[in-house]
């Protein structure tokens, strides 16, 4: 489902639409998800789930697949009347997914990110438009985390914020890098410090309209100017969407939230 990397040379004449949703497990009396695994997982996905030994990863696999398929069914006409168990999402617990059904391969890019009992999914149906999504919880992180994943320039910017805001900066900075790495996929070997971020608007995050705010990429594979990265803060979590647009970066993506029903 879509190409990875930054090889997109195509120039689009209109902004891409990105659909996204957030699912929190436990909203329904049935438990993690409102359907039994066999009723919405493809046989190959059931097999993949059985291979996941750790319970937390199995839970993440379930809620991520449920949220993604529910989002696809509400935004992709080819899936509106198709049982979810006939849709196969190839990929790991988190990251970029390939989408196929027993009828066709659906073009576009789908990304899943989970944290705790929440799943954040984003999808675009434009070809050659790599997309990444990341959901990060705000909490203290060790200095070694900064040294391993951030440059001196980024750490200098972080230290310029009040101490009470620095945990949010670290969560957002890592969320941006994770989203970009997801969009790049597994074809390119990229270290997190090759992606350099600048977050000048962090103190404006608590806005009542929950608008998506931009992040500047000082450097990234393909060039920072070819990326569009947007984020927002909800409670103790940061949501980030990164999309490689290349020459189409003159457009701002249209981001639409989709509220999931109790049953897909």
**Which domains, and CATH codes, for the chain?**
17-257 (3.90.470.20)
Specify the pTM.
0.88
Confidence of residue 137 (pLDDT cuts 50, 70, 90): very high
pLDDT surpassing 90 at residue 106: no
C-alpha–C-alpha distance, residues 241 and 254, integer Å:
12
**pLDDT, position 246:** 85
Q: Who contacts 79 (Cβ-Cβ below 8 Å, separation ≥6)? A: 72, 73, 87, 101, 106
Q: How far is CA 120 from CA 7, 8, 27, in A?
A: 26, 25, 15
Q: What share of the chain is helix, strand, coil (3-state, %, to 5)?
A: 35, 25, 40
pLDDT tens-place string over residues 225-256: 999 999 998 889 999 999 998 877 778 899 99
Reported as a single tens digit per residue, the pLDDT across 65-80 is 999 999 999 999 888 8
- Residues in CB range of 37: below 8 A, 6 or more apart: 46, 49, 62
pLDDT at 193 over 90: yes
Task: Please give the Cα distance from 128 to 12 (Å, whole number).
Answer: 11
Mean pLDDT of the chain: 85
By the 10 Å C-beta count (0-12 exposed, 13-18 middle, 19+ buried), 178 is classed as: buried
Is the confidence at residue 2, as pLDDT, over 60? no
CA 70, CA 82: separation in Å to the nearest integer?
11
d(CA 27, CA 261): 11
> Best-predicted range by mean pLDDT among 32-36, 91-95, 119-123?
119-123
Helices (H) and strands (E) counted in the chain, each on its own, are 6, 12
Rounded to whole angstroms, the Cα distance separating 264 from 212 reads 26
Q: What is the pLDDT of residue 108?
A: 83
């Amino acid at each position: 489902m879509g190409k990875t990397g930054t090889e997109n040379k195509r120039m689009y004449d209109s902004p891409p639409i990105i659909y996204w949703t957030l699912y929190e497990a436990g909203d329904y009396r049935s438990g993690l998800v409102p359907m039994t695994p066999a009723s919405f997982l493809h046989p190959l996905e059931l097999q993949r789930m059985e291979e996941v030994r750790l319970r937390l990863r199995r839970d993440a696999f379930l809620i991520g697949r449920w949220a993604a398929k529910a989002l696809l069914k509400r935004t992709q006409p080819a899936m509106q009347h198709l049982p979810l168990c006939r849709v196969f999402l190839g990929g790991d617990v988190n990251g970029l997914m390939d989408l196929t059904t027993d009828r066709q391969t659906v073009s576009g890019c789908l990304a899943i990110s989970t944290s705790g009992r929440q799943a954040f999914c984003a999808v675009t149906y434009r070809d050659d438009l790599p997309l990444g999504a990341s959901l990060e919880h705000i909490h203290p992180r060790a200095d070694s985390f900064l040294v391993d994943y951030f440059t001196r320039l980024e750490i200098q910017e972080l230290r310029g914020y009040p101490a009470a805001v620095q945990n949010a900066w670290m969560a957002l900075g890592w969320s941006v890098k994770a989203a970009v790495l997801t969009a790049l996929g597994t074809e390119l070997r990229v270290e997190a410090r090759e992606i350099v971020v600048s977050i000048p608007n962090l103190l404006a995050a608590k806005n009542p309209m929950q608008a998506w705010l931009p992040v500047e990429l000082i450097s990234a594979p393909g060039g920072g100017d070819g990326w569009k990265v947007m984020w927002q803060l909800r409670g103790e979590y940061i949501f980030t969407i990164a999309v490689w647009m290349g020459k189409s970066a003159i457009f701002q993506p249209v981001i639409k939230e989709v509220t999931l029903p109790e049953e897909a």
